[in-house]
Amino acid sequence: MGHQHDHGEGGGAHAHDHTAGANARSLSIALALTGSFLIAELAGAWLFNSLALLSDAAHMFTDAAALAIALAAIRIGQRPADKKRTYGYRRFEILAASFNALLLFVIAGYVLYEGVQRFLDPQPVGSVGMLIVAFFGLVVNLIAMRVLAGGRDRSLNVKGAYLEVWADMLGSVGVLLAAVLIWATGWTWVDPTVAIAIGLWVLPRTWILLRDTTNILLQGVPRGVDLDAVRGAIADVAGVASVHDLHLWSVAGDDRSLTAHIVIDASEDEQQVRRRVADQLHDLFEIEHATLQIERGDAACEKGDHA
């Protein structure tokens, strides 16, 4: 007596395609901006011997890599479901976001290590050239952030790329301030201090991204949803006696899927109860895809809850 209920399947697919297309355009523009500036920033870091600038260039490199991976993930994620991937390929976006988070952890670790080395062995820094490069880096990052801002709340993949560009923007601000201080005072220790501060600032936000993507890969309950509240909402539907084997997960972060066994009163109509439960889930929790198995109260066993 299993039944699959898709709320607005056609409209949802169309909306996802439109969102994916918009995200792809945004990522392409941001990739062109960051990729074109990366070489200049690496050259500046080498010419002016600035660890802070190198830190910013390292983040710019991860930005470019993250944007390229995110763009590829969207292209692959748009492929339709097939016999091997019945959910389609959208979860590739989550894998890409996880990879970006891990890459940021590595880069931050490298910058922290190099910062400590600079304290032990101070190096001269070309503050004026450092200032000029950091200024243009800030402009590029601000434009890229503006381009990506619209999609960051709809896609963890785009959010991961946005966070990297955002972190790099903060890095550019830090490098600008460091360059001014070094030029005014000659304090070369400001350079590794800013580099370490950038690394420490990025780590907590990277951890949040990694936590969210890992939860999705483990098919955990989507963030912001209380499973007990979902269970209670189902139980409140007229005709429902109990619910068990309740599972709730997300494929790509912007969707919610649910399966459950619903025990109904013997006198109730199965189709009507199923429809009421599906509507309740959609209206209260934005669950678009619910697979509900109906069991009669006089025939169902006491199975307990395995959610």
The CATH number of whichever domain residue 185 belongs to comes to 1.20.1510.10
Please check whether residues 185 and 131 belong to one and the same domain.
yes
Percentage of the residues of the chain whose pLDDT score is greater than 90:
13
Residue 160 lies in a domain: yes
Q: Clarify whether residues 84 and 206 are in a common domain.
A: yes
Give whichever of 19-33, 68-82, 90-104, 206-220 has the largest mean pLDDT: 206-220
The pLDDT of residue 130 is 81
Whether 130 and 106 share a structural domain: yes
In a domain, 13, yes or no: no
Q: Indicate the residue among 164, 197, 217 that finishes a domain.
A: 217
Q: Is residue 304 situated within a structural domain? A: no
Average pLDDT for 188-205: 80
Whether 245 and 117 share a structural domain: no
Question: pLDDT value at position 9?
Answer: 43
pLDDT level of residue 188 (50, 70, 90 thresholds): confident
Same domain for 199 and 270: no
How far, in Å, CA of 198 to CA of 237, rounded? 51
Whether residue 181 sits in one domain with residue 62: yes
169 in the same domain as 44: yes
pLDDT score at 247 = 94
Cα–Cα dist 61/181, whole Å? 26
Q: Residue 153 contacts by C-beta under 8 Å, 6 or more apart in sequence?
A: 159
Examine the domain organization and report whether 209 and 87 are in the same domain. Answer: yes
In the chain, DSSP assigns E strands to 2-6, 240-249, 257-264, 289-296
Q: Which one is predicted more confidently, 16 or 297?
A: 297
Q: What's 250's domain CATH number?
A: 3.30.70.1350
Q: pLDDT value at position 298?
A: 57
- Based on the domain organization, do 158 and 269 belong to the same domain? no
Q: How far apart are the first and last CA of the chain?
A: 20
Question: Is-contact 280 243, C-beta < 8 A?
Answer: no
- Can you tell me the mean pLDDT for 299-305? 46
pLDDT at 251 over 70: yes
**pLDDT recorded at residue 154:** 67
Residue 301 lies in a domain: no
Percentage of the chain with pLDDT > 70? 86
pLDDT at 22: 66
Query: What's the whole-number mean pLDDT along residues 224-228?
Result: 90
The pLDDT assigned to 59 comes to: 67
Answer whether residue 5 is part of any domain.
Answer: no
Which residues lie closer than 8 Å to 66 by C-beta, 6 or more apart?
A: 100, 103, 160, 161, 164
**For residue 172, is it within any domain?**
yes
Count: domains in the chain: 2
DSSP state of 149: G
119-136 pLDDT, tens digit each: 888 777 788 888 888 888
Q: Is the dihedral of CA 259, 263, 265, 271 positive or negative?
A: positive
Residues 139 and 196 in one domain: yes
Read off the tokens for 283: 């209206």
In a domain? residue 7: no
What DSSP string describes 70-115?
Answer: HHHHHHHHTSPP-SS-TT-STHHHHHHHHHHHHHHHHHHHHHHHHH
Q: pLDDT tens, 167-176?
A: 778 778 888 8
| Residue 19 confidence (pLDDT) | 60
Q: Which of 217, 250, 284 is the last residue of a domain?
A: 217
Residue 262 in 3-state DSSP? strand
**12-30: pLDDT as tens digits:** 444 455 566 667 777 888 8
Same domain, 146 and 281: no
Domain region containing 114: 19-217
Cα 216 from Cα 250, distance rounded (Å): 6
Domain boundary pick from 199, 217, 235: 217
- Residue 306 falls within a domain, yes or no? no
